[in-house]
Amino acid sequence: MPSQNHIPVRSQIRFFVVLCVSVSLAAFRWGGHCHADDRTQAAAKSPPQPNIVLVMTDDQGWGQTGYYDHPVLKTPHLDAMAESGLRLDRFYAGAPVCSPTRASVMTGRSNDRTGVQSHGYALRRQETTIASVLKDAGYVTGHFGKWHLNGLRGAGVPVLHTDAHHPGHFGFDQWVSVTNFFDRDPLMSRRGKFEQFTGDSSDVAMTEAIDFISRQSKANQPFFTVVWFGSPHSPWLAGDDDLKPFESLDKDSRHHYGELVAMDRSIGTLRDSLRRLGVAENTLVWYCSDNGGLPKITPDTVGGLRGHKGSLYEGGLRVPAIVEWPAMIKPRVTNYPACTMDIFPTLVDLLSLDPSVAPNPLDGVSLKPLFQQEIGSREQPIPFRFSNKAALIDNHFKLLAENLDRSKFVLYDLNNDPTETTDVTRKHPQVAKRMQKSLVDWNESVKASVAGEDYPEGRVDPDHPEPRWWTEVEDYKPFFDQWQDRWEYARYFKTKRK
């Protein structure tokens, strides 16, 4: 098999940030701000620099956990995590499909600002990522699993060392990654060198992540680890043992749920490994899904919500989420509305980094105060823009625009109508008016970001790539003869793509 060369690991300069700042991140130019807190008191309570692990599933719906009483799926390890951490019952993906949400995690910004309009769009290299920020703050950084921020479409293939948008270009020291979703016995890339793995994809990704965590723990190095699973994205192929609880389901649903069993098992492996290594107490683990659940899977994937993946209704955006950090978070459940855009500013706040590390307008807020106690209403609404549609969540109200060009809005009261059946604009005209103005103003700021006005150059890099299929990439063509019989790739060779 042709091989890819390793990229040398860049030497790291570790420095300590000694300036304790008030991270209000008021540069969120469209009006929101975080809750203030007493930094002196916080410093006294805060443990040493925490390790950080971000875990994200691929197409897992809001209703697909045991702790939400799913009728057939058992998730004992997620359930245990929920019992030990902060369960976020109103947590939202940054977008209703995968690449855009991943961009929101990396940047703290709505996806369209970053150039990631839909699945298969590349993240602009002009963006500042949380991996780069934490690397500069002394963390060793690693990415494991699905990447999907390099502008390639189609089932996941190993990321090339020549790829101008591989994880290393966005702050990751180590990476074992594929371009998109991946399944059993995956072919992956270790910093550009292709490697064949055996087993369920979730087990494979987590094994690599734990090896990375183990090495950093033994070296007493703080680590930032991103594990992005390929499950339960289609196509589905679960192991025989993982299929046993679902024998009464149709084939697709059976394998879909079987993959979730394996994913849950890998969560247990992670939690057990952190305890075994003696770092669980001061490791923050943040789990969520990248978008809402899928249709045509039985039983229901979205817990009775309206819509599925691709929709700005709750079923397309609301996802399961848990933050576990034994040193700082006492177990509880919250209905505080939060989102993937909050991850970046939260981590910046936790480390007391200067707000200037985020030079571009953010759309998220720090959730640090929420880790300690309930903090009332969210002060900054959560915005979404996808495929010329938009939504704005302001606590229990949600404004939805099915077509931004037509400026037609619908207002929902999620407290009284969680399945979004009734427009309450006439009942709450002032709320509707206020939220419409906020959404329109925010949309104008996004237009400026799309044009590149946030960047020092004042424009988008002219070399930024358009989405394409990996079958169109010259550097992959030497592998085609070997790949055409692999079950996950075969269909791409039966259909010619121009």
Question: DSSP code of 158?
Answer: B
Enter the tokens of residue 445.
Answer: 């700021």
Residue among 184, 183, 130, 194 at smallest CA distance from 158: 194
Report the C-alpha gap between 188 and 197 in whole angstroms: 7
Enter the tokens of residue 316.
Answer: 């397309």
Buried b (16+ CB within 10 A) or exposed e, 287-297: bbbbbbbbeeb
Q: Quick check: is 148 catalytic?
A: yes
Catalytic: which of 148, 161, 165, 233?
148
Enter the tokens of residue 468.
Answer: 């394409």
Q: Residue 140's beta-bridge partner residues? A: 223
Task: Please report, for residues 3, 156, 196, the alpha-carbon distance to residue 184 in angstroms, rounded to integers and kept in the order given.
Answer: 21, 12, 11
Residue among 242, 62, 187, 167 at smallest CA distance from 487: 187
416 burial via Cβ count (<10 Å: 0-12, 13-18, 19+)? exposed
- What sign has the CA pseudo-torsion 354, 357, 361, 363? negative
Report the C-alpha gap between 193 and 149 in whole angstroms: 19
Q: Around Cβ 124, how many Cβ atoms within 10 Å?
A: 22
Residue among 367, 365, 382 at smallest CA distance from 329: 367
Buried b (16+ CB within 10 A) or exposed e, 148-176: bbbbbbbbbbbbbbebebbbbbbbbbbbb
Say if CB 344 and CB 358 are below 8 A apart: yes
Q: What angle do CA 346, 348, 351 make, to 5 degrees?
A: 105
Question: DSSP code of 39?
Answer: H
Q: Report the first-to-last Cα separation within the chain, whole angstroms.
A: 26
Question: Reduced to 3 states, what is the DSSP secondary structure of residue 469?
Answer: strand
Catalytic: which of 34, 98, 288, 339?
98
Query: HSE-up of 182 (CA within 13 Å, CB side)?
Result: 32
Q: Which residues are catalytic?
A: 98, 148
